Structure 1
Amino acid sequence: MACSRRSRASPRLVLLVVFVALLLDNMLLTMVDEVIPDFLFSWEQPCFLLWPSLNRSDAEPGNQSGLIPDLQINSSSCLQDNLFLDGNVRVGLLLASKALFQLLVGPVVGPLTNRIGYHIPMFAGFIIMFLSTIMFAFSGTYALLFFARSLQGIGSSFSSVAGLGMLASVYTDDEERGIAMGIALGGLAMGVLIGAPFGSVMYQFVGKSAPFLILAFLAVFDGALQLCILQPSKISPGSVEGTPLLALLKDPYILISAGSLCFSHMAVTILKLNLGFWMIDTMDSPYWHLGVAFLPASVSYLIGTNLFGVLANKMGRWLCSMLGMFIVGISLLCVPFATSIYGLIGPNGGLGFAIGMVDSSMMAIMGYLVDIRHASVYGSVYAIADVALCMGFAIGPAAGGALVQLVGFPRLMTIVGVINILYAPLFLFPKVGVKEKPNRNKMVSEEPEDDRQCS
């Protein structure tokens, strides 16, 4: 009986659960990014047609906006200079609300996992994500969509913090943990890779509700998987008391690691928010180009996370992350030189590959830093990682839309690229301080003692 419980909670099955959870969460993330902005413009501001290729029946040709040549206007009441900008700010705030609520909830979820274990928060994340997905399918107002997006952020915080903490606790060997983190982040990459084209195609040819209802059906599979493998029915706190969150925040190595996650993801969110409008303005791109433009980044991120989940431990994770930050900056500097969608393949591919290098290295190294410098309980440190990601995701949409109006898209890419390049040398400092042997005071598993005997 004990060995049966062990088979359900073996490290590989736990990795499968986390992989699927990250896959579905990021499918929802990118589907919302693709579908909701255009839906809001066409629903609440029918005078706007961002992409005429959608062939909406209620749009009539008229005067064009000075910002975007293909922006169609069918009413003289829409000829106000700030109408499009107001709509863009509203969309930016809606998209940023996910990261904002994830940012607020993350510091609560981390210590919570220390008290009750990882399984119940992980399952709570599934339930919240399912409710959010259903709301996206049937909501037709800005307020309800804002609430659904905020709910998505809460569910993501539960899933990512509990999932990564659980992985770190079952993969106690540092090298194996790095490989597992790379595979799990591959689920994130596949979600981004699948979600954007799937959402845009389904929205254009079937409607808004269809992609979200299909995703909700897949989420039910994730919930069943968690029930079978994790059995989230009882509180199972760890045997070691975790280091307080504030104490971890005082560790300079953890702060450097978290900062790299923040700045690299801030770069990609600023690019995602503004690249589509820049493509329409300078390349006269049709709507489907906007979903396809980020495919190279998604594919290369998938390759980067899996490849450097193995290689980073051999070449040095700090070095790997430093190179990744340099490549992020150089890729952003190259984006404005593209004159067609084909010119974006190299910069976007380099960007995804570099962020894969940073993520796979930093997610593993944050667990290792806890092992050698603090108590080996991982909820709080991955809450810090989640907060860092959310800060990047929140700053990107919130500030990127306003900054691009002030300095222009090419200069904005230059500024963000230089910030990442200047941050990279900070990875030279921690290398001396992390050569100690791992702490033996390690929590091997959050399973009861009779389950551990089977392993």
Structure 2
Amino acid sequence: MTVVNEWVAGTRFGGWVQRCRESRRLVLVIVAIALLLDNMLLTTVVPIIPEFLYDINHPNATLDKLSRVTTTTTPSPTPNPCAQYIKNQNADISVTTSSNDFDNVSTVFTTTLDPEQEEQKMRHHDLVQETVEVGMMFASKAFVQLLANPFVGPLTHKIGYSIPMFAGFVIMFLSTIIFAFGRSYSVLFIARALQGIGSSCSSVSGMGMLAERYPDDKERGNAMGIALGGLALGVLIGPPFGGVMYEFVGKSAPFLVLSALALGDGLLQLLMLQPAIVRQESDPPSLKALVTDPYIIIAAGAITFANMGIAMLEPSLPIWMMDTMGAERWKQGVTFLPASISYLIGTNLFGPLGHRMGRWLAALLGLVIIGICLMLIPLATSMNHLIVPNAGLGFAIGMVDSSMMPELGYLVDIRHTAVYGSVYAIGDVAFCLGFAIGPAMSGTLVKKIGFEWMLFGIAILNFLYAPLLISLKSPPTKEEKKSLLLDEKTSVRYVTYQNEDEEE
């Protein structure tokens, strides 16, 4: 009897597992968790790396101590050079000292800066210089991801989505462990670059898997909005999680927690997705055909410009806050909180809403709002002044991302073949371009033109790009595209024959 009960229980469990494996919702949960953890790792380092690198380079003077000194101490007025000189000499100098002696003393004191002013000036120089290093480290992940995407996309056509998805987990786990125990700039740089390969596998496979499981355009938009909500939640939790854990526990703690969560996601993938080779039935569109499609490029470009602004802010805003506001560690992490919360709201709201109002219009409005918010950020004089522009920035990026990601799948459906690996490789390339160009250029731009003009420049680019999205209002389908090509060929032949007749 006991054996029979065990057999029945095992059968029921096996049936439940099989139903879970066939469930679209479970696939959506797994993809959302993978994006959540990837973006938690992406943003957890934002408040940690600038401080950690400064501590490595200046072991006797941390940013935390310097910021408190520069914000709470008021410099004492500079005393009269002659009076100070007389005081220091304990009145050994007579009142009848010659005017030449006083001229020499005055020269000495006028060329000597106040110690606190000198320290603050050196600190400002070091912080601006560090912006370049931090920007290059942050950009390395996006650059590597950019290079990996053209290989991962076509690979999913040959072996399916589950194996690259699991490979992404393994690589991310290794990257997290390196972050936990790395103690030099070069090691942390390698960890950040390695994460780019894992992110490419996870995001391209995850979005392709969702597009395949949700063939209906409306359902696909809702599903991708939820998946991007996982991404948004990772961006939301990452900076405050990293800042608080680094402040009160230590540098390794947040990365060890993330590695444990990643391990759980990997076990879930093994149990439910069962990574295996699955070949596509229909012939996929070539990467060249997708890259040369102007409508796909316009949709992808919107993703690039939408994310470039926040990518520039990641390495530069915490350092700008240290420099101008004397912000502490936890404030540097919390400042991105409004953007993350509003991004989470924007992605979930405009997944279904973008389908109703027109995804082109949602993305167009998003780019305009992004430009306005970027121009407001440099006007802030305290952390409270950053709340509204950061919140608007996150909401608007959510509008663009949740509209253009399903739009890429829709464009492939109506203009090419419904195989999605390569088109989401292009979408991920667009996302990575923003996060590669932004941090890489931010340090140089801050040095050359300043933090304010850097943000004004990217805001103007968003304004200029927005009108191009009107072309996505009613893109021609595959049949219309063939009809247009046929009409063009016919007209060319007609003109050729007409010219020949005229010559005769």
Aligned: 1:18 with 2:31:
yes
The 3 A distance-change label for structure 1 pair 21 and 438 is farther
Aligned: 1:5 with 2:18:
yes
| 8 Å Cα contact 1:309/1:360 also seen in 2 | yes
Aligned: 1:27 with 2:70:
no
CA offsets 1:171-195 (integer angstroms, 9 cap, x no match): 1110000000000000011111111
* Residue identity in the other structure for 2:162: H
How many residues align structurally? 424
Structure 2: where are the runs of 5+ without partners?
1-13, 69-113, 482-504
> Which residue number corresponds to residue 90 of structure 1?
133
* Residue identity in the other structure for 2:34: A
| 8 Å Cα contact 1:110/1:383 also seen in 2 | yes
> Which residue number corresponds to residue 151 of structure 1?
194
1:127 to 155, 170, 193: 170
* Residue identity in the other structure for 1:200: G
| 8 Å Cα contact 1:369/1:434 also seen in 2 | no
How far, CA to CA, are the matches of 1:428 and 1:250 in structure 2? Answer: 19
Aligned: 1:140 with 2:183:
yes
* Structure 2 residue matching 1:376: 3-state secondary structure: coil
The 3 A distance-change label for structure 1 pair 345 and 149 is same
CA positional deviation for 1:292: 1.2
| 8 Å Cα contact 2:134/2:315 also seen in 1 | no
* Residue identity in the other structure for 1:30: T
CA positional deviation for 1:253: 0.6
CA offsets 1:134-155 (integer angstroms, 9 cap, x no match): 1111111222111111111110
> Which residue number corresponds to residue 90 of structure 2?
none
How far, CA to CA, are the matches of 1:386 and 1:410 in structure 2? Answer: 29
1:188 to 207, 231, 253: 231
The 3 A distance-change label for structure 1 pair 47 and 142 is same
Aligned: 1:342 with 2:384:
yes
| 8 Å Cα contact 1:53/1:286 also seen in 2 | no
* Residue identity in the other structure for 2:252: S
CA positional deviation for 1:366: 0.2
- Compare CA radii of gyration and give the structure with the larger one: 2
How far, CA to CA, are the matches of 1:163 and 1:410 in structure 2? Answer: 37
Aligned: 1:376 with 2:389:
no
The 3 A distance-change label for structure 1 pair 146 and 401 is same
Counterparts of 1:288-437 in structure 2 under 5 Å?
A: 288-434=330-476
| 8 Å Cα contact 1:54/1:204 also seen in 2 | no
2:304 to 235, 252, 262: 262
2:155 to 112, 124, 149: 112
| 8 Å Cα contact 1:331/1:348 also seen in 2 | yes
CA offsets 1:287-326 (integer angstroms, 9 cap, x no match): 3221111111000000000000010000000111101111
| 8 Å Cα contact 1:54/1:287 also seen in 2 | no
How far, CA to CA, are the matches of 2:390 and 2:451 in structure 1? Answer: 15
CA positional deviation for 1:408: 1.5
CA offsets 1:100-148 (integer angstroms, 9 cap, x no match): 1101101100000000000000000000000110111111122211111
2:269 to 217, 220, 226: 226
1:205 to 244, 248, 257: 248
Deviates more, 1:83-92 or 1:395-404: 83-92
Deviates more, 1:283-292 or 1:107-116: 283-292
The 3 A distance-change label for structure 1 pair 80 and 188 is closer
CA positional deviation for 1:436: 7.5
The 3 A distance-change label for structure 1 pair 111 and 212 is same
Aligned: 1:49 with 2:54:
no
* Residue identity in the other structure for 1:242: P
CA positional deviation for 1:407: 1.4
How far, CA to CA, are the matches of 1:130 and 1:91 in structure 2? Answer: 22
The 3 A distance-change label for structure 1 pair 54 and 35 is farther
The 3 A distance-change label for structure 1 pair 107 and 81 is same
Deviates more, 1:152-161 or 1:429-438: 429-438
| 8 Å Cα contact 2:67/2:326 also seen in 1 | no
* Structure 1 residue matching 2:278: 3-state secondary structure: coil
* Residue identity in the other structure for 1:247: A
* Structure 1 residue matching 2:47: 3-state secondary structure: helix
* Residue identity in the other structure for 2:50: P
CA offsets 1:63-100 (integer angstroms, 9 cap, x no match): 5577x94x8xxxxxxx5996554433222211111111
| 8 Å Cα contact 1:118/1:166 also seen in 2 | yes
* Residue identity in the other structure for 1:330: I
* Structure 1 residue matching 2:327: 3-state secondary structure: coil
| 8 Å Cα contact 2:64/2:329 also seen in 1 | yes
Instruction: Provide the TM-score with structure 1 as the length reference.
Output: 0.88
| 8 Å Cα contact 1:182/1:306 also seen in 2 | yes
* Structure 1 residue matching 2:46: 3-state secondary structure: helix
Instruction: Provide the TM-score with structure 2 as the length reference.
Output: 0.80
| 8 Å Cα contact 1:109/1:157 also seen in 2 | yes
CA positional deviation for 1:360: 0.3
> Which residue number corresponds to residue 40 of structure 1?
53
| 8 Å Cα contact 2:131/2:319 also seen in 1 | no
1:177 to 220, 237, 259: 220
* Residue identity in the other structure for 1:96: A
How far, CA to CA, are the matches of 1:434 and 1:192 in structure 2? Answer: 36
Structure 1: where are the runs of 5+ without partners?
56-61, 72-78, 440-455
Higher helix share: 2
How far, CA to CA, are the matches of 1:434 and 1:390 in structure 2? Answer: 28
Deviates more, 1:95-104 or 1:278-287: 278-287
The RMSD of aligned alpha carbons is: 2.4
How far, CA to CA, are the matches of 1:54 and 1:165 in structure 2? Answer: 46
* Residue identity in the other structure for 2:422: S
CA positional deviation for 1:204: 1.1
* Structure 1 residue matching 2:284: 3-state secondary structure: coil
CA positional deviation for 1:276: 1.9
The 3 A distance-change label for structure 1 pair 117 and 206 is same
CA positional deviation for 1:341: 1.4
